[in-house]
Structure 1
Amino acid sequence: MTTTTGSRPSTDTPSTPAPRARKFRIRSVGGMLGLTVVGIVFLLPFYWMFSSAFKPEGEIYRWPLQWIPSTIVFDHFARAWEAVPFAQFFVNSLIVTAAGSTLKVLLAVFSAYAFAFLRFPGKKIVFLAVLGALMVPGHVTLLINYMTIGNLGLINTYAGIFLPGLASAFGTFLLRQHFLALPKEVLEAAELDGCGHVRRLVYFVLPMSKPAVVTVALIAVIDEWNDFIWPLLVTNTLQARTLPIGLMFLKETEGVDQWGPIMAGTVLVILPMLLLFLFAQRYIVAGLAGAAVRR
């Protein structure tokens, strides 16, 4: 008895995209469209501000809107610079930002290293207190900070502006989480070679944590540069004011209907931070992504 086996005819059909793949493509296209719309919504005010700073006076108030200036003028910048002492405001902001952000980053680095690698009594309780400080609004401490700075005789001084904000709970938390994610083998090898805590921090921890440190530094610089409420309270003379307060004085000097000089002054205030952010944005993404949460 013999048996024969026949081959079943092929029923393969040309492959078609799976429904899941089609849904993924639709979602990707929808996400890109959504991001494009959101980007346009955020970019339009920036474009209008920059274009108004270089437009002739009549084109700022024209209807329908004049999106592209017919000619580029710089008169608004000259008017803004002469209306208020912008040069003094720049010097004040540069000094306060440089000193305040540098000290803030140093304190965050040292405190984060202590929380990550040192053993001391009450370590977890102190770190919980640091986390709790993240939940306290900054305006709650304005009165006690003002009384402290006043008793120290630091009203209308650079130190009086940046001293109350030196302790950065967010910077400490971010760097501590990043330090915990570093390879332990490298740090243990450095310890076996006789490296103390300072050498481990300077030659091993900081080079491996460059994105996180740059992120904390950039946030500190932007906070110091844009701070408005505290410098307004702790200074009472025009020569001690910083740029954000100077922009308010410019609005009061020129009037709310003089948008050319006001927009030019706004460009002068935000342009340094905008350029700094564009330069360091790749470090921000790496720094935030590298700060893995570990227990």
Structure 2
Amino acid sequence: MRQHSPTAARRGAPGKIAGYVVMVLIAALVLVPVAFIVLTSLKERPDIYTQPITWLPESFTAGNYAAVNETVPFNRYVLNSVIITGVLTVVQVSLGTVMAFALVFLDFPGRKLLFLVVIASLMVPNQITVISNYALVSELGWRNTFQGIIIPLAGVAFGTYLMRNHFMSLPHEIVEAARMDGAGPMKLLFRILLPMSWPTVVAFTLITIVTEWNQYLWPFLMADTSAVAPLPVGLTLLQNNEGATNWGPVMAGTVLTMLPILVIFLVLQRQMIKGLTAGAVKG
């Protein structure tokens, strides 16, 4: 058995220290702005505009959180975000999983071409399709409707790519054994493959939830009223409600917007990491 000498361990120490320093710096870049938002949401208005800027207020207040609901219909924006995010998550995860299954386990003409189309769509920025989608949705009379927001965002290129790579990493012996036992495509997918794929499905689901919860540009173009506007659009209206920005309620609304996603991420982070690394550790 090979043993590492103390000299080799000492040589590796600077590299480990440098790695820890980089990790601390990255964590600071992420956490410092979040801490500033949370602290600002608890400040009185005079404390927010002090020069120079102070981190800790003279006294903490929860008044900004009450002002959020008094200024805009915040609960309605939350409900709209839940509807839009929930529908898009179900649609994208379902379609992405089924499409990936078809690309890996079904033999049909044009399969490779279809996969190339999926890859090509990943390289097209969403902003390029905004004008054409806007014209089409307006022609259909879908502005200020949930379907006008949801349907153009229901593409699943990334999810299809992620699930395809995962399915290709699974042991093919299990798939062949299931087929020899008479398992059809649906039984193979739901009874064999998905039980082995929950970490990747959870990762796919979490990525979709975070992405769709934070969608701003397309919902902003589609929603002119609070009836269908999601939270990111609602925060913009909160910011411009009185002509001059009162940053206390804006920061409080931002905290309330981040909180559900943070809770979901903390609950599912292990499954997400496991799912994203499952294909990479296959021997």
Say if 1:139 and 1:25 are closer, same or farther in 2 by CA, change over 3 A: same
Partner of residue 197, structure 2: 209
> In 2, distance between residues paired with 1:268 and 1:261?
10
Task: Provide, for residues 9-62 of structure 1, a one-character-per-residue CA deviation record: whole Å limited to 9, x for no partner.
Answer: xxxxxx9722x4322111101110221122122211100111111233333334
Deviates more, 1:79-88 or 1:105-114: 79-88
Q: Does 1:183 align with 2:151?
A: no
> In 2, distance between residues paired with 1:229 and 1:191?
46
User: TM-score, normalization: structure 1?
Assistant: 0.88
Verify the 8 A CA contact 1:254 1:261 in the aligned structure 2: no
Select the residue among 6, 10, 15 that pairs with 1:17: 6
Alignment of structure 1 residues 1-150 onto 2, 5 Å: 17-18=6-7, 20-63=8-51, 65-150=53-138
> In 1, distance between residues paired with 2:134 and 2:149?
10
Deviates more, 1:237-246 or 1:169-178: 237-246
Partner of residue 151, structure 1: 139
Aligned-pair identity in percent equals 39
Task: Provide, for residues 219-274 of structure 1, a one-character-per-residue CA deviation record: whole Å limited to 9, x for no partner.
Answer: 11112111111011122223221110110011101455522111001111111112
Which residue type is aligned with residue 73 of structure 1? T
Partner of residue 214, structure 2: 226
Verify the 8 A CA contact 1:134 1:169 in the aligned structure 2: yes
Task: Provide, for residues 190-226 of structure 1, a one-character-per-residue CA deviation record: whole Å limited to 9, x for no partner.
Answer: 2222211111111111111111111111111112111
Which residue type is aligned with residue 101 of structure 2? Y
Q: Secondary structure, in 3 states, of the residue corresponding to 2:142? A: coil
Task: Provide, for residues 78-126 of structure 1, a one-character-per-residue CA deviation record: whole Å limited to 9, x for no partner.
Answer: 1111111111111111111101111011000000000111101111111
Deviates more, 1:104-113 or 1:86-95: 86-95
Verify the 8 A CA contact 1:177 1:293 in the aligned structure 2: no
Partner of residue 260, structure 2: 272
Partner of residue 9, structure 1: none
Say if 1:254 and 1:76 are closer, same or farther in 2 by CA, change over 3 A: farther
Unaligned runs of 5+ in 2: none
> In 2, distance between residues paired with 1:158 and 1:269?
20
Give the number of equivalent residue pairs: 279
Select the residue among 149, 154, 162 that pairs with 1:166: 154
Unaligned runs of 5+ in 1: 1-14
Task: Provide, for residues 137-185 of structure 1, a one-character-per-residue CA deviation record: whole Å limited to 9, x for no partner.
Answer: 0011112212222233322111111111212111000100000111112
User: TM-score, normalization: structure 2?
Assistant: 0.92
> In 1, distance between residues paired with 2:219 and 2:251?
22
RMSD: 2.0
Partner of residue 187, structure 2: 199
Q: Secondary structure, in 3 states, of the residue corresponding to 2:109? A: coil
Q: Secondary structure, in 3 states, of the residue corresponding to 1:67? A: coil
> In 2, distance between residues paired with 1:83 and 1:90?
14
Deviation of residue 64 (structure 1)?
Answer: 5.5
Which of the two has higher C-alpha Rg?
A: 1
